[in-house]
């Protein structure tokens, strides 16, 4: 018979809604909460007298681990799994501890851990999904890095190709300018030496034969002599326009002074010229570029500025030759002029400076005059 005092204890346990079972010294059920049946894999009408291992097979093989003294630690079997008829799973923990309460030697308590287990499963699932997402992101980042590296390599290769092509183009353009100037020099010399000398000889021959002609032929001969003189002047002018010999023979400053004198005589525009540190000789292509830029700039002043004077500055600094042409004329909009293709030689001047790795800047606006500034690099001095 169940001790009445144990019954009183059971009543108190039932009030706590704890699923439990009391076992005797032989690990057989002597009292239990009827709610315990929901945790059983094989339900029984009455559990009293049944061994613990039959009620909960999870204890099979754990006999030597059962607590024998009250002071011994309890034996816990966590996360016992059961399945409902509809297939849903639930979980609980089994805890067996040694007691000494009347006829009972062991207390078995069941804790519902389904919610905790599901939360843990959700956390595990979320953690796995997060790992997959992180792995996918890492793969995407790695692919992005590889694509970026490949793009950078392609950009570097393409940039190198473009730089090499630009260098080749600059070399070709520079060579073209050199050939053009050489042809100008050659043609100018031929005009001066051959055609000029031929015309000079013709003039002398006409003068020598003038007294041997009848008087009625003298007016016609005078016209021919005048025509020959005019033709000699035109040939000399054309030779100088192509390339002044003093640029090659004497250098940049003498050639500019001669050009300014000739320019003032032809256009009636005074040139205010100042220079500093530029009396020395520079490389031929630098002297040619500076002379041509100033020549073209002054031509534009004469054609479009509508002024009586123009300022020209030339100065030499370490490894740099600077020049500036400034007028206070009518001015223009450089952006519109260059965009319209009516550059008045502006693009040609910019190209000449760029071919030497220099630059040329045009500052102008309608009614405010024009300032043209250029910088040409020099070889190591």
Q: What is the pLDDT of residues 283-325, one digit of tens each?
A: 888 998 899 899 899 999 998 999 999 999 999 988 899 999 9
Cβ-contact 236, 197 below 8 angstroms: no
Q: How far apart are the first and last CA of the chain?
A: 122
Burial zone of 63 (CB within 10 Å; 0-12 exposed, 13-18 middle, 19+ buried)? exposed
Cβ-contact 61, 67 below 8 angstroms: no
pLDDT average, residue stretch 48-73: 87
**pLDDT score of 134:** 92
**234 or 24, greater pLDDT:** 24
Task: Say which residues have a Cβ less than 8 Å from residue 281's Cβ, sequence separation at least 6.
Answer: 251, 252, 287
pLDDT average, residue stretch 40-52: 85
Residue 360 has pLDDT above 90, yes or no: yes
Show the beta-strand stretches assigned E in 18-71: 19-23, 29-32
| Mean pLDDT, the chain, whole residue set | 82
Q: What is the pTM of this model?
A: 0.53
**pLDDT score of 188:** 60
Q: What is the pLDDT of residues 74-126, one digit of tens each?
A: 899 888 888 766 677 888 889 999 988 767 889 888 888 888 888 888 888 99
Q: How many CB atoms lie within 10 A of CB 196?
A: 17
**pLDDT score of 374:** 94
Comparing C-alpha atoms, which of 103, 59, 104, 102 is closest to residue 80? 59
**pLDDT score of 1:** 44
Residue with tokens 């010229």: 273
**371 or 5, greater pLDDT:** 371
**225 or 256, greater pLDDT:** 256
Q: What is the pLDDT of residues 144-198, one digit of tens each?
A: 999 999 999 999 999 888 888 877 777 776 677 666 666 766 666 666 556 656 6
* Percentage, residues of the chain above pLDDT 70: 76
**pLDDT score of 359:** 93
Show the beta-strand stretches assigned E in 1-56: 19-23, 29-32
């Amino acid at each position: 018979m169940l001790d009445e005092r144990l019954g009183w204890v059971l009543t108190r346990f039932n009030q706590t809604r704890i699923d439990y079972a009391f076992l005797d010294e032989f690990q057989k059920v002597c009292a239990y909460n009827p709610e315990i049946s929901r945790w059983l894999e094989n339900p029984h009408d009455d559990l009293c007298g049944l061994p613990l291992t039959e009620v909960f097979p999870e204890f099979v093989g754990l006999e030597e681990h059962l607590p024998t003294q009250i002071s011994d630690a309890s034996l816990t079997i966590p996360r016992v799994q059961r399945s409902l008829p509809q297939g849903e799973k639930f979980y609980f923990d089994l805890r067996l501890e040694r007691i000494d309460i009347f006829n009972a030697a062991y207390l078995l308590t069941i804790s519902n851990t389904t919610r905790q287990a599901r939360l843990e499963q959700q956390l595990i699932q979320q953690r796995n999904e997060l790992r997959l997402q992180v792995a996918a992101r890492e793969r995407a980042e790695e692919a992005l890095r590889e694509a970026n590296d490949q793009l950078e390599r392609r950009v570097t290769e393409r940039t190198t190709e473009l730089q090499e092509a630009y260098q080749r183009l600059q070399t070709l353009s520079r060579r073209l300018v050199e050939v053009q100037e050489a042809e100008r020099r050659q043609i100018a010399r031929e005009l001066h030496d051959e055609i000029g000398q031929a015309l000079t000889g013709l003039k002398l021959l006409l003068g020598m034969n003038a007294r041997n002609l009848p008087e009625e032929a003298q007016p016609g001969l005078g016209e021919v002599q005048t025509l020959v003189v005019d033709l000699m002047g035109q040939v000399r002018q054309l030779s100088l326009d192509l390339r002044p010999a003093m640029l090659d023979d004497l250098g940049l400053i003498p050639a500019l002074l001669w050009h300014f004198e000739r320019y003032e005589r032809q256009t009636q525009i005074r040139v205010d010229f100042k220079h500093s540190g530029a009396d020395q000789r520079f490389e031929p292509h630098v002297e040619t570029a500076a002379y041509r830029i100033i020549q073209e700039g002054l031509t534009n002043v004469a054609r479009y500025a509508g002024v009586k004077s123009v300022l020209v500055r030339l100065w030499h600094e370490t490894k740099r030759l600077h020049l500036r042409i400034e007028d206070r004329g009518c001015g223009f909009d450089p952006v519109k002029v260059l965009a319209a293709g009516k550059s008045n030689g502006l693009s040609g001047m910019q190209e000449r400076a760029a071919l030497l790795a220099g630059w040329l800047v045009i500052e102008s606006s309608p009614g405010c005059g024009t300032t043209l500034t250029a910088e040409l690099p020099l070889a190591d001095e």
